Amino acid sequence: MLDQALAVAHRTGEGYNLAELYRLKGELLLKKASGQGTSRAAAGGEPGVEPRQPAFAEAESCFHQALEIAQQQKAKSWELRAAMSIARLNQEMGKPEARIPLAQIYDLFGEGFDTVDLREAKALLHELS
């Protein structure tokens, strides 16, 4: 259904939800990959476990597309969500830079710190510290 929604958005030029659609597609790709008998941590190449690198790479691409679109649209909430997805993926893949993009976007907010997204972002930043 997400692929259909993305196709409609591209065909009609109605890109209002495009960033969130790409982010959700990335999240679903990760869920599908982890549901096939390995955890996301297996992407690092644990012995005896087949890594799910293609799904991770595709998900990462979706997250970066979501982030880029959100930035172009100046949609800070969707930018924050995309950055959280990227940070979680980077954390699980053992990338040390997991915190940086999320921290930069979180710092742009001056209000709304009681919203679910900003509370989750703060908790994730604390976890990544």
**pLDDT confidence of residue 52:** 62
**Domain boundary assignment for the chain:** 2-128
**pLDDT confidence of residue 75:** 95
Q: Name the residue among 29, 64, 36, 61 with its Cα closest to residue 51.
A: 36
pTM: 0.82
- What is the tens place of the pLDDT at every residue in 68-100? 999 999 999 999 999 999 999 999 888 888 889
* pLDDT level of residue 38 (50, 70, 90 thresholds): very low
What does the mean pLDDT of the chain come to? 86
Do residues 43 and 50 lie in contact, with contact meaning Cβ atoms separated by under 8 Å?
A: no
SS (H, E, C) 44-100: HCCCCCCCCHHHHHHHHHHHHHHHHHHHHHCCHHHHHHHHHHHHHHHHHCCCHHHHH
